[in-house]
Amino acid sequence: MKHRKLGNIDVSVIGLGCNNFGMRLDEADTAKVVHAALDAGVNFFDTADVYGNGLSEEYLGKALKGQRDDVVIATKFGAYDVPETLTGGHPEWIKKAVDNSLRRLGADWIDLYQHHFPDAKVPVADTLGALNDLVVAGKVRHIGCSNYGADLLGESNEVSNDRGFARFASVQNRFSVLHSEPLPDVIPACEELGLAFLPYFPLESGLLTGKVTPQGPPEGSRLAAMPEERKEMFLADWQLDRTRVLTSYASNHGRSILELAFGYLLAHAPVSSVIAGATRVDQIVANAAADGWEMTPDELGEISEIVKV
């Protein structure tokens, strides 16, 4: 497994998204997937305090027991308004949230602590000040954000520089070969500010695994279990059409659509690790083995033309 830098730590270019732990997977099945990921060379695990209402962190911590020095644990806070009339970016909530996450993970520190969603009710300087305190205290080694736009990334960087706070090391936003929204502004912002980019939904909830047929997603899959209105986010006609063309393109290059999905993202320099979820051992094994397509500029351009809206 190849590695890239996130801050001053090395992360596997394929990471394991832990959003299914505590929801679709119980503790035993979580352990199977996590151990398979470790065996496949994955060292980067991304969770959040809201996944499984905290069970994702708890199950992940138990599965990684005895491996702490060999893995990189990322978690997130502040997805929604929280108890006690606070909001997700409020310093008082951050202090409580990090201690709760450390307890559930059974860890002494968190490698990457990420603000899950921007909080318009709290000045970004207040959020960054609280996160800086966690770095100084040794509870957190790097801080990051998720679902931030380029303007807010720039503002956050300016605040950190002006006040001597720890800077964001990464931003985690939705990005796939079919969903290129970050490209116009966030990717260039990452290059300018020296931020790592962490794509989520890289496989569009399974659409880009090669297992969705004209008859629909396979039984038991995440897509199959979705309410009909949510399926439209991933199974619109244009998405299915482009996926068929991309699959053919990959095949003509001796590759799978899975390799194309990961290779396209990893061809963007700021991307440190592609975060893909898994509910079965075979899925994480397949994902971990799909990092081999180092795309040429010509290939990247051809794929960009295929998916151009």
Instruction: Name the residues annotated as catalytic.
Output: 51
Rounded to whole angstroms, how far apart are CA atoms 191 and 36?
Answer: 33
- Residue type for position 87: T
Place of tokens 């599965």: 63
Which residues make Cβ contacts (< 8 Å) with residue 220, sequence separation at least 6? none
Q: How far is CA 286 from CA 177, 209, 222, 289, in A?
A: 18, 9, 17, 5
**131 token code pair:** 């996160």
Strands in 44-46's sheet, in edge-to-edge order, are 196-200, 168-174, 140-146, 110-115, 72-77, 44-46, 14-17, 274-277
Query: Beta-strand (E) ranges in 92-212?
Result: 110-115, 140-146, 168-174, 196-200
CB 135 within 8 A of CB 106: no
Cα-Cα-Cα-Cα dihedral sign, residues 248, 181, 56, 168: positive
- Residue 199 bridge partners (DSSP): 173
